[in-house]
A and B are shown apart, each in its own frame.
Chain A
Amino acid sequence: MAKGDSSPVWLKWFDGGQVIRAAHASVEDAQLQASMEAKPYLGVYSDPDDHSDNAKLADAKGSHELAAASGEGASE
């Protein structure tokens, strides 16, 4: 693990009816990756199994906004 073996944050998005996630070293890394791809990103989470925001899925289907950009959805 990079950056002092710190715990990763998890970038999550919606794909084919499932929540997909990927480990990133920091919120900034995750936001940079989100800005590179046109995916319906849900946000950045410290817990990969945090599904508390899954209710947003319906809204996220048509949105490429990163919720964490405004602090919304982040569980840091």
Chain B
Amino acid sequence: MAKAGYDASTEADVLLTATTARTCLGVNAPAQFGVDLRGLVIAFDGVTNTDKPVLIELGQCTFATQPPGTASTSNTVQQIYGRSITAGFVGAYAWTTEPTAITVVRTWRVTPNGGTWDYDWPLGETPDNAVSTGFIIRLTAPTSNVNVRATMRFERC
């Protein structure tokens, strides 16, 4: 199944406190579909060029605790293309208590000094997950506090 695409974003700046891991954005799938993660945008507003790069972890999450909307701010999942149905994806951002359980599947780093990461995985290589589970982006700024904005692009699968 494809060609039904969605975006879920942080709808405000999310503050990363130095040396504190924070789940900044997440989406959970309904019982009917999984999430096929096409791409991500992550952008920082830092201006200090001596700050170390921020650790970015993409994780699959069962949301056994702190599902989207609990200890986090709910957002609106926007359908971007495809035939419209009530898909039932639930998103949120800015977790204050970490969700469990997270299994990290990709990890990389981006500078917080105005750093922007905008990437689509090649067709056929997109990370996906099972129904009733989701994806999260967990960030750790090693040096200074910094704000981040992020968007997930995904399809139902």
Residues of A within 8 A of B (CB): 1-2, 8, 11, 15-16, 18-25, 29, 32-33, 35-37, 48
Contact = CB atoms under 8 A, between A and B. Distances in A.
A24 B96 contact: no
Nearest to B70: A2
B142 interface: yes
Contact of A25 (B22, B65, B138, B140): B65
The 8 closest A-B pairs by CB, nearest first: A22-B21, A2-B71, A36-B101, A22-B98, A25-B97, A29-B100, A2-B70, A23-B97
Contacts of A23: 20, 96-98
B92 to A, nearest CB: 12
Given A1-B97, A36-B102, A25 B71 contact: yes
Interface residues on B, range: 20 to 34
B133 to A, nearest CB: 13
Contacts of A18: 19, 142
Nearest to B143: A18
Interface of B: 19-22, 55, 64-66, 70-71, 96-98, 100-104, 138, 140, 142
Contacts of A15: 55, 140
Identify whether the interface residues of A are mostly helix, strand, loop, or mixed: mixed
Contacts of B100: 24, 29, 32-33, 36
Contacts of A33: 98, 100-102
A18 B65 CA distance: 27
